[in-house]
Every structure is written in structure tokens, then in C-alpha cells.
Amino acid sequence: MSQAPSEIQRAPITPESREAEPRHERTPTAPGAPSTVTKAAPARAAAPAPAKRRDAYFDNVKYLAIVLVAVAHAWEPVMDGSRTTRALYMVVYTFHMPAFILVSGYFSRSFDMSSAKVKRLVTGVVVPYVLFETAYSLFKRYAGGVDDTPITLLDPLFLTWFLIALFIWRVTTPIWQSLRHPLPVALAIAALASVTPGITDDLDLQRVCQLLPFFVLGLLMKPEHFQLIRRREVRMLSLPLVAGALLFAYWVSPRMGLGWFYRSNSAQEMDFQWWAGPVMTLAMFACALLLTVAFLSWVPRRPMWFTVLGAGTICGYLLHGFLVKGAGYYGLFDRYEWLTGPVGLVVVSLVAAAAVTLLCTPPVRRVLRFATEPDMNWAFRKSPAKR
């Protein structure tokens, strides 16, 4: 997933900045006369702009969401034959990417196609997509032994789809913000996509369309909505909700295909009647929204030991796929059958969580900056103010 810019808040006023503010003095007045105020004393020096800091809550959201993404990917090779693992997988897959996409939409509200925003979109989304789409194709060709793997930017491989989807969603932000009812329109597009098998794999447009409502919903969110989500009443209501979701998933797991959770195919392509597409689109949206609210309500709002890792989730997202795919190419899960059992599930989950945590650390982020946050001033025109 592409890293969304974190919400920023004004830092507390420091003593130095307080001293730099103009001071007002009163002049002596006669008894009973109204006091007057002289003009402000000149400031000693121009005060620098207040420092801005990241919002710990959203960094916590991003880190915990990326852990769920990595753990769910690690479950895929070991969940066959385990009804419990399959149920857990279904629940996590219902909301982990919708939560990430909703937060990405929330932080895309200020995107306006200005030169600075376009530059950041290119360096933070387009460049990583080109580099990692190529890297995953080469990895599949040489490590996976699939010699005919093409290197193409039109058919996203594995997890790189999120980057191209984020690019499409973000450049269309001004359109969604100009509509009177953007969410119903986005839901209509998602429903229509679910009954349109003619949508090709180019740019993974099927998934882009079906997950679009979560991005649009994020654009509509305001800070007070997140304050409401974090209320104690919401947290308490989320407990029976999640318990019910787990029980339902356990019951339905042998009967329900996983294609609905990937949102990458139409109903007809999954051998269902066309009308099942819109019905499941709305049902999955409602389930994902409820579970996303439950997840967001329990995320700590204060700084935690993992808060700093929220700034490096793009690295964890893009790199953990090599570990998951590499284990599959190596035949790790076939060699050690015990990994498919209950103990193996725990081990795989812990290893995946630890690995993605390490990949989100500041040292990894610094090493990978050339690919995820490249300095490309040479490729862009200078703004008129800087000439």
C-alpha cells in the first residue's frame, strides 16, 4: 500500500515562540479613566513557523493494518484443510484493505492537482509502482522459475495493485469532491463492475472499481467522525460484532468462495448469476465498514512503541511480499507439513508480524528511500516563486 501522509497538528507553543510574539503594554491613566493600549512592541525576530508533528493515532492505524495484511498473506499457504484458519482469513480480508484505503482517502482530501501534489504523487506512488512491479516480475521469473513472466506495467503483480489503484483514486479526487452524492455514485460503479466480466486485467481495474467506495468514504470523513469512532460505546459494541463475524465466518467458510473478498472478478467469472454481483457488493461494503469501525475504535490514540513504524508502512507493504512469495517458491510449506497445523498457524503469524515490523523500521525506510521517496527535483519544473 502507498503510504498516505499522516495527519498533522500544530505543535504546542514553546517558550521561545511565545517570547517572539508582540507584547502589549498599558499606559498610566487617570483614576476612573478607561485604560488604553499602546501599539505592540516590535518583535525581536520573526518567529519560525510552528513545527508540525504526526498524529500518533493514524500511525498506529497504519502499522496495525499492515501487520494484518502481512499475516493474512502468510496464512494463504497454510489454511487449506483448516476451517478455523480459513474463517480468520475471511474476517481479516473483509476489512484490512478497506481500512487502509479509507485512511488513504481521508489523507487525500487536500489533493488538488497542484504541482507540489502531483510531484508527490509521482515520487511516492508512480515510481514505487514501476520499480516494484518490475522487481516482482523478475523475482517470479528467476526465483519462482516462471521463465515466461512478462515485465509489464499494465498487469499489476501480487500486491502492487494497490499503488496503481491509489494513483487512479487520487487523481480522480477533484471529481469526487465536486459531486453532490459521491458515495452512492461510487457504490453504483462498484456494483456495475461486479457484473461486467469484460473489464480486463489491465491496471487491475476490476479491483479499482470495486474498492472505490472505501476511498470515496475516506474523502468524506472529517476529524470528528474519528472522534466518534473512538468513543467507549463504539468499542463495547464492537466486541459482540467481531465475535458474531467470527462465528458467521466459521459457519460459512466451507460454503463461500474467497473470490468475493479479493474483489478482482465479476460475479459471472466466479460462476454466479449476474444479480449476485450488486447484492454481494453492498453486503461486503456493509460488513467491511462495520469491521473497519470496530478495528479503528480499538487502535490506541496515544504514542506506542510501534507508532514510529507507521511512517514506514510503505516499506513493510512492498517488501513483505518477497518473503511470502519466496517461502512459496522455496517450498517451505510443503517441506514442513506441521506448519499447516494449529502450532504452525501461530508460528507463521508471529514470524509474519515480526518480519513486517522489522521492514517498517527507520533504518529500512532510509535504505529504501531511493525507491519509495526518491528526490526527483531534476525531473520537475521549478515553481515560479522559486525561479
Q: What's residue 1's pLDDT?
A: 43
d(CA 125, CA 71): 24
pTM for this predicted structure? 0.84
Q: Which of these, 103, 77, 100, lies nearest to 89 by C-alpha position?
A: 77
HEC string for the chain: CCCCCCCEEECCCCHHHHHHCCCCCECCCCCCCCCCECCCCCCCCCCCCCCEEECHHHHHHHHHHHHHHHHHHHHHHHCCCCHHHHHHHHHHHHHHHHHHHHHHHHCCCCCCCCHHHHHHHHHHHHHHHHHHHHHHHHHHHHCCCCCCCCCCCCCCCHHHHHHHHHHHHHHCHHHHHHCCCHHHHHHHHHHHHCCCCCCCCHHHHHHHHHCHHHHHHHHHCCHHHHHHHCCHHHHHHHHHHHHHHHHHHHHHCCCCCCHHHHCCCCCHHHCCCCCHHHHHHHHHHHHHHHHHHHHHHHCCCCCCCCHHHHHHHHHHHHHHHHHHHHHHHHCHHHHCHHHHCHHHHHHHHHHHHHHHHHHCCHHHHHHCHHHHCCCCHHHCCCCHHHC
Question: Which residue, among 40, 52, 36, 44, has the nearest Cα to 20 in the 3D structure?
Answer: 44
Integer Cα distance of 387 and 309 in angstroms: 37
Average pLDDT, consecutive stretches of 10 residues, N- to C-terminus, the chain (387 residues): 38 37 38 40 47 84 96 91 91 95 95 91 95 96 90 91 96 96 97 94 94 97 95 96 96 92 94 95 97 96 94 95 93 81 89 97 95 89 65
pLDDT of residue 15: 37
Q: Is 31 in contact with 195 (CB distance < 8 Å)?
A: no
Dihedral, CA atoms, 83, 86, 91, 93, nearest 10 degrees? -170
Query: What CA–CA distance (Å, rounded) separates 357 from 369?
Result: 17
pLDDT for position 52: 62
Are 184 and 151 spatial neighbours (Cβ–Cβ below 8 Å)?
no
Considering only CA atoms, which of 55, 64, 139, 106 is closest in space to residue 360? 64
Query: Letter for the amino acid at 70?
Result: A
